[in-house]
């Protein structure tokens, strides 16, 4: 009879096997992580551009700043970034600008008896941007008579002048734009103070259309309270006040940059006959794309279709050198497949505007 010996597994053997298994798992984990990290990561076009290429210390004209500030102003329109309400708007702004190098956000949305004002305050460790929204006539993807009344009638077309003695004897400004900053100023200053705290930062203020009317008023009010404004860029802005106001304003903000595209009709309002003036010479972009800095007022009748914010955004983008184009976000519309809806919105706007102009000329 044969007697077979069984292999006895000792505790030491089990422990040894456990160590081998653990080492194998660690090696496998390392190999998997290497494989995952080797996968191409899709970078966001314009990633960290507000930190890397925005010229926060610039004085006067900066083309890259002009584009990024117009991009900021464009993005304040709910109907341009396709959101249904202000909660969605705040979420979309954060999703859009966080990859671009902005890490802090605050929002203003105030409707009072005299005006309706929206703004975004956003910052990183180098700069603070205040962007005011322009006029809208829709809300939640639908035409809104209330929105139109507040933005257009109570604000844009409130051409009565308001006397501001503390800005200079005889100074009178557009009442609608002054009211629009008055109803939000305390909140705005609180946010700006908070964003400017800590490491030294430069303050930049911008806006398109109605936003371009409010932005200079905000700059004056903040300056009154000792807050230095590094840059003030407006787009498609109307005339703001009388001659005394313009003289006082130019002394305080001699480097304001005012952008106008192809005889934009809003830049011709309120009328000169009403004793309103612009606060700075225009940086004119002509229909053929030519840019003339500190130019005179364009000749001829105003064009409604030139007022669209997407037009300004695209035309300034076209002026950028190639090495800058590849490191900033592309315009959302105009043939960019990433946002065909916005391109369609601009085409629709331009088509309706052309019909309106033809009706006016007949």
Is the CB of residue 281 less than 8 Å from the CB of residue 294? yes
Q: And the tokens for 270?
A: 């309120």
Residue 2 has pLDDT above 60, yes or no: no
Q: Would you state the pLDDT for residue 158?
A: 65
What's 292-312 look like in SS3? Answer: ECCCCCCCCCCECHHHCHHHH
Q: Residue 48's CB: how many other CB atoms inside 10 A? A: 16
Residue 361 has pLDDT above 60, yes or no: no
Residue 45 has pLDDT above 80, yes or no: yes
Q: What's the whole-model pTM score? A: 0.80
CA distances from 283 to 132, 157, 332 (A): 20, 24, 23
**Residue 55 included in any domain:** yes
Mean pLDDT for 96-120 is: 93
Residue 67 has pLDDT above 70, yes or no: yes
Q: State how many domains the chain has.
A: 1
**Residue 257 included in any domain:** yes
Mean pLDDT for 93-118 is: 93
Q: Would you state the pLDDT for residue 107?
A: 98
Q: How far apart are CA 77 and CA 83, in angstroms?
A: 9
Specify the CATH number for the domain of residue 130.
3.40.50.1820
**Residue 52 included in any domain:** yes
In this prediction, residue 5 has a pLDDT band, given cuts at 50, 70 and 90, of very low
**Residue 12 included in any domain:** no
Residue 32 has pLDDT above 50, yes or no: no
Q: How many residues does the chain have?
A: 362
User: Which residues contact residue 9 at a Cβ distance below 8 angstroms, ignoring those fewer than 6 apart?
Assistant: none
| Percent residues over pLDDT 90 in the chain | 63
Q: What domain range is 178 assigned to?
A: 44-361
Q: How far apart are CA 240 and CA 247, in angstroms?
A: 12
**Residue 14 included in any domain:** no
Residue 290 has pLDDT above 80, yes or no: yes
Helix (H) or strand (E) holding 93: helix 86-97
Residue 113 has pLDDT above 60, yes or no: yes
Residue 326 has pLDDT above 50, yes or no: yes
**Residue 313 included in any domain:** yes
pLDDT mean across residues, the chain? 82
């Amino acid at each position: 009879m044969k007697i077979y010996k069984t292999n006895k597994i000792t505790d030491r053997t089990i422990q040894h096997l456990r160590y081998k298994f653990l080492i194998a798992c660690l090696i496998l984990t390392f190999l998997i992580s290497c494989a995952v990290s080797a996968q191409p990561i899709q970078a966001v076009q314009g990633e960290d551009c507000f930190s890397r290429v925005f010229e926060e210390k610039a004085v006067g004209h900066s083309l890259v700043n002009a584009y990024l500030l117009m991009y900021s102003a464009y993005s304040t329109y709910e109907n341009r970034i396709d959101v249904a309400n202000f909660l969605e708007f705040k979420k979309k702004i954060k999703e859009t600008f966080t990859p671009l190098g902005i890490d802090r956000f605050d929002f203003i949305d105030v409707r009072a008896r005299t005006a309706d004002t929206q703004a975004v305050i956003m910052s990183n460790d180098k700069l603070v941007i205040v962007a005011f929204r322009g006029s809208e006539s829709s809300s939640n993807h639908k035409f809104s008579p209330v929105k139109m009344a507040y933005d257009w009638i109570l604000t844009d077309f409130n051409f009565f002048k308001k006397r501001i003695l503390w800005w200079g004897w005889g100074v009178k400004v557009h009442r609608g734009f002054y009211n629009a900053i008055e109803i939000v100023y305390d909140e705005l200053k609180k946010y700006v103070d908070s964003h400017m705290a800590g490491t030294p930062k430069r303050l930049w203020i911008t806006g398109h259309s109605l936003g371009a009317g409010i932005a200079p008023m905000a700059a004056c009010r903040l300056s009154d309270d000792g807050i230095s404004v590094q840059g003030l860029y407006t787009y498609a802005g109307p005339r703001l006040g009388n001659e005394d106001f313009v003289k006082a304003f130019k002394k305080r903000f001699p480097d304001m940059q005012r952008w106008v595209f192809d005889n934009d009709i809003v830049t011709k309002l309120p009328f000169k006959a009403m004793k309103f003036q612009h606060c700075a010479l225009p940086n004119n972009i002509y229909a053929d794309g030519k840019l003339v800095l500190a130019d005179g007022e364009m000749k001829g009748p105003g064009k409604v279709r030139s007022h669209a914010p997407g037009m300004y955004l695209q035309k300034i983008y076209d002026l950028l050198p190639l090495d800058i184009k590849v490191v900033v976000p592309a315009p959302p519309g105009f043939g960019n497949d990433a946002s065909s809806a916005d391109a369609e919105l601009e085409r629709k706007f331009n088509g309706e505007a052309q019909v309106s102009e033809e009706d006016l000329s007949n």
